[in-house]
Structure 1
Amino acid sequence: MKRLDIATLFDTLAERHSPTVLHLSRPLDIAPDDAGPRNVLDLAALVEDWSARLAAAGAGPGDRVALVKRNHWDIVLLAMSAVRIGAVPAPVSAQLPPATLATLLARLDAALLVLDGATAQRAAAARIGLPARRRLLLDGTGENLPDAVPAADVRGHPAPAPRRRGADEPLIIVHTSGTTGTPKLVVHSTATIVRRLIGFEARRWPVLSSRPGDTVAAATSFAHGRAFAWTASVFWLRPAAVAAIADHSPQAAEPFLRAHPPTTLEALPATYVRWRHLAAAPAAENVFARVRLYISTFDAVHPPAVRTFLAASERRRPVWLQGWGQSETGPLAFRLLTRKSVAAVGERRPTTRDLGRPVPGRTRLRVADPATLRPLRRGRPGLVLARTKALGLGYVGESERWSAKQLGRWWNTEDVGMRTRGGSVHVLDREVDAVAGMSCVEVEDVVDDRVGEVVECVVLRPREGPPVPVVVTESGSLDPAAWRRATADLPELAEPLVMAADDLPRTGTGKVRRLELRSRLLGGAHPVARPRPAPPTSAGR
């Protein structure tokens, strides 16, 4: 079998007569005239066509190509097209504020910026420039970006031959979610993201892998590295169908899910929350009845969501894969949840805080004292350190920040957690959000489980005083008596603040921007002291 090569993935699959058909929730923005199903030959042709356009627009081997457009799976196709000509794609979420987007583009110093008209318009309205040496505009008139080349003007050129690169050379630049500030740009190579991450996932593992009869659906942020890895591994396993969902609103997603009912589904945790009422529909109407495997990554998932979706499946033993990892490292730990494991309601120690064990043979984890970095015994909370060969090459424009997080052969995840006696890991909070003596994420789980009207809960650390819970409810109000009963055995909390869901600032992956929310509601963040001594000699063992 040929080695998986991102540059020619769909060509190889066509040679192998892959039967996989792609279904799209709406037409691709790079091919808006064709909304129908596509096979791997169609996808190979699209990648070749756009590799020719990128080259004609001025991108070449080794160049960075920034990709900024509204969420859809064609972001991955554009990234593959850049890889094909030897360039280094850098997908960036168009949902970022224009000022943040400009900061990332300045760090990238891209030879070519590929963007859509909506992004150009937002930047122009904010009077913020989008730095790049050349710009390629996918749609629109170009009045907001007069120096941009329209995509139609670079159509029809011959495609360069696929370019190969060394295993340790930069392949793609991905960015973190940015919950704690400006996202970081992470460089990955063929060795780290293809061989270590995609190669591992593209094997036929029991329960977890795509099967020949599967319809594999994804409702994710296609600008993030997870979508790149998901695409390659899923198509390599040749399921019957792949379904890409660009718009996650229930009104848009429900008809598509009904037309193409998934057997495996990967979605953002925030998307699962938005779809809970769809999963609660009667069996005869439920679009999730065929699902055997649910997957969630990027953020914490709360027990009620897991419980609702597992109950929606008509399979005898559906499972939920909860993954924990980072853009820098890929997956670090995972756990399979079942109907039985999430059956208990309102537990003080929610089961979803147990993220399972490190990925076997791929990852090592240790918990260290934040001040001394010395290992802590199991059961004690501390800073979670990871060791993996899938660790990226560095941060673009922030080499000192990368070096500060690399402790010998260990990587500082900047998460607070603990290891259990059985070896599993409980992630309690981001270090910057941590409150002494409690886990904010754990409290959020409990509130979400005990107060039925709560759609989402975010616990913030104030400058002084007890943590402040911010809650979103279905009614827009909160019953004080129900709140007191639900939180009676929890650590002391301030009076809850009720907000509308749309008022919560979010990243492109649906995570709440906690620092921004804290600054908006509480007037800033209390700094976290993070002394970092030189790693002890045992750190590299």
Structure 2
Amino acid sequence: MGVLFDECADRDQATTIHLDRPFDIAPESGVDHDLPGLARLVWTTAGWLAAAGVRRGDRVAIVKDNHWDYDLLACAAVRIGAVPAKLSGHLPPESLAVLLRRVGPAVLVTTAGVLTAGRDAGVDLTTLARTTVDLNGTDPSALSVPDLLGHGTPPPVRPRDDDPLVVMHTSGTTGLPKLVVHSTATIIGALAQLEARRIPVIGVRGTDTLANASAYSHGRTFCWTASALALAPSRIVVLTRDDPDLADPVLRNHPPTVVEALPATYVRLRPLTTRLDNAFRAVRLFMSTYDAIHPPVVRAYLDASARRRPLWMQGWGQSETGPITFRFLDRRVTAPRDLGRPIPLRTRLRVVDPATLTPVGRGEPGLVQVRTPARCLGYLGEDERFAAKSDGGWWNTGDLAVRGRTGRVRLLDREVDLAPGMSCLAAEDTIEDRLDAVVECVLLGVSGRPPVPVVVTADGTLDQRAWTRAVADLPPLADPVVRTWDQLPRTGTGKVRRHDLLTALAADATPAGSGRWT
């Protein structure tokens, strides 16, 4: 990964890159780039990281605003033999401080805004690294990038396949995120190489315009960066914000043919699908990972495409394992909780009893365990927690599902989010399908009480009669709580922090799930 951009540029790839805003590490470089230019940027960044004191074997923490230069910074750190730790700038300062203590970085690369937010919360983040680099160059306690330029760049260092390569964190919907450690063998050899194959129909082609709207602090984009550049599409379009009015002109200037985005970003950009001559008319393949995606959202994008048979590839996996299963949806969008089958020749899957961890029969619900060569090396600073989720070579995902007679997996819920006697995810699908005004529905499982539905609408209001009709045949639910999108606590990937939300709504409420495998 340290020489990825160099190798792709040396192959004379003609891929161009178009950003919705300039990189934070090079704000003067504009929004249009080619691979030789990005290779020089990684080379320059590696030089100033070395000048800041980064040495082989050190860790480099990266905390900033959302942008793809998270991965350019990570590649620069890898190039000089360091291990990058990508941490979301969306994290609360208190959580960020805990994670930085576990990382123990030689250098913290961040922004003045992150440092100021920390001090406002009583946390001086600069004390948690030997050296801090402020990309804005305005914080008096940190170095700026111009302070570090002009030094030579050390020759590239190739890490061993099984050594730590990169650290990233989980989404953190249930509390403090875990720090996941991956190696070259797991995240590149087992994941990126698989994605980098030109698979008929669904593989990225040399003529494609590939758009990505993601949370670039997470591990998914590190893998995506490797596979996307290897596949050499004609254009790569990077979106960092989910405001429809900001995304629309970028997508119109570079109409995508393949799109990957966060489920929450698909929800936020959905209004674009109904605009005249919408920006998704040329898309033949949509892809989503990270979180559940609900039927109305999938249908809106597939209907927006002018292609004869556009497809939606839905992946299910975790930061610890990478993709576990995948399936394809078309405009009929049936059985959205059907996650398909495990990745052939790569992933084994079984469903076990939550109490005994012994396998259950086909058609019976239980906890999902997987076995994959892509499983991470561990949790940084939490060895016992990692060991508790490991069962020999099997990994406990903490997800509840049913495996059918043909091997297909139907997801029910996260164990920590369960509601006895029902699937919250299935109920959320039903409600969103029946009520057009509902942007998002979140069911919160509560011990000893009916689940609490939190309903997101554009204006924070809900037609009570329509609600009553929509849930009449569902299991008993508490009265709906209506909110707007921005009123819900969210992670950097747009997932709702369900436990924070439940605590805010009812301080005495206890989740129905045990949370043992979170």
TM range (shorter): over 0.9
SS of residue paired to 1:33 = helix
Once residues 353 and 464 of structure 1 are traced to their aligned partners in structure 2, the CA distance between those partners, rounded to angstroms, is 26
2:181 aligns with one of 172, 182, 187:
187
Partner in structure 2 of residue 225 of structure 1: 219
Partner in structure 1 of residue 477 of structure 2: 493
Partner in structure 1 of residue 171 of structure 2: 177
Within 5 A, what are the aligned runs for 1:398-413?
398-413=382-397
Once residues 265 and 515 of structure 2 are traced to their aligned partners in structure 1, the CA distance between those partners, rounded to angstroms, is 33
State the shift of 1:14 in Å: 1.6
SS of residue paired to 2:316 = strand
SS of residue paired to 2:405 = coil
Once residues 380 and 331 of structure 1 are traced to their aligned partners in structure 2, the CA distance between those partners, rounded to angstroms, is 23
Alpha-carbon contact 1:383-1:412 (below 8 Å) kept: yes
Once residues 187 and 288 of structure 1 are traced to their aligned partners in structure 2, the CA distance between those partners, rounded to angstroms, is 36
Once residues 91 and 417 of structure 2 are traced to their aligned partners in structure 1, the CA distance between those partners, rounded to angstroms, is 21
Matching of residue 471 in structure 1 with residue 477 in structure 2: no
Once residues 268 and 138 of structure 2 are traced to their aligned partners in structure 1, the CA distance between those partners, rounded to angstroms, is 34
SS of residue paired to 2:336 = helix
SS of residue paired to 2:510 = coil
1:54 aligns with one of 26, 36, 49:
49
Q: Deviations over 1:319-351 (max 9, x none)?
A: 001110000000000111011334xxxxxxxx2
Partner in structure 2 of residue 525 of structure 1: 510
SS of residue paired to 1:352 = coil
State the shift of 1:531 in Å: 7.6
Unaligned ranges ≥5, structure 1: 1-5, 343-350, 533-541
Matching of residue 162 in structure 1 with residue 156 in structure 2: yes
State the shift of 1:275 in Å: 1.2
Matching of residue 247 in structure 1 with residue 241 in structure 2: yes
Once residues 140 and 155 of structure 1 are traced to their aligned partners in structure 2, the CA distance between those partners, rounded to angstroms, is 13
SS of residue paired to 1:333 = strand
Partner in structure 1 of residue 428 of structure 2: 444
Once residues 526 and 30 of structure 1 are traced to their aligned partners in structure 2, the CA distance between those partners, rounded to angstroms, is 42
Distance 1:477-1:64 versus aligned 2 partners, 3 A rule: same
Q: Deviations over 1:235-271 (max 9, x none)?
A: 1111100011112211211111111111101111111
State the shift of 1:157 in Å: 0.9
Alpha-carbon contact 1:453-1:475 (below 8 Å) kept: no
- What percentage of residue pairs aligned between the two structures are identical? 54
Letter in 2 for 1:525: T
Q: Deviations over 1:153-189 (max 9, x none)?
A: 1011111000012110000001100001100000000
Once residues 399 and 222 of structure 1 are traced to their aligned partners in structure 2, the CA distance between those partners, rounded to angstroms, is 26
State the shift of 1:464 in Å: 2.7
Partner in structure 2 of residue 538 of structure 1: none
**Greater CA deviation, 470-479 or 366-375?**
470-479
Q: How many residues align?
A: 514
Partner in structure 2 of residue 106 of structure 1: 101
Once residues 309 and 529 of structure 1 are traced to their aligned partners in structure 2, the CA distance between those partners, rounded to angstroms, is 36
Q: Deviations over 1:197-256 (max 9, x none)?
A: 001101111222210110000010010011111111011111100011112211211111
Alpha-carbon contact 1:173-1:186 (below 8 Å) kept: yes
State the shift of 1:75 in Å: 0.7
Once residues 525 and 104 of structure 1 are traced to their aligned partners in structure 2, the CA distance between those partners, rounded to angstroms, is 26
Matching of residue 311 in structure 1 with residue 303 in structure 2: yes
Once residues 36 and 366 of structure 1 are traced to their aligned partners in structure 2, the CA distance between those partners, rounded to angstroms, is 46
State the shift of 1:34 in Å: 1.8
SS of residue paired to 2:29 = coil
Letter in 2 for 1:228: F
Letter in 1 for 2:136: D
2:229 aligns with one of 206, 215, 235:
235
Give the superposed CA RMSD. 1.2
Give the TM-score, by structure 2 length: 0.97
Once residues 15 and 278 of structure 2 are traced to their aligned partners in structure 1, the CA distance between those partners, rounded to angstroms, is 25
SS of residue paired to 1:277 = helix
1:332 aligns with one of 324, 330, 340:
324
Once residues 490 and 527 of structure 1 are traced to their aligned partners in structure 2, the CA distance between those partners, rounded to angstroms, is 18
**Greater CA deviation, 435-444 or 185-194?**
435-444
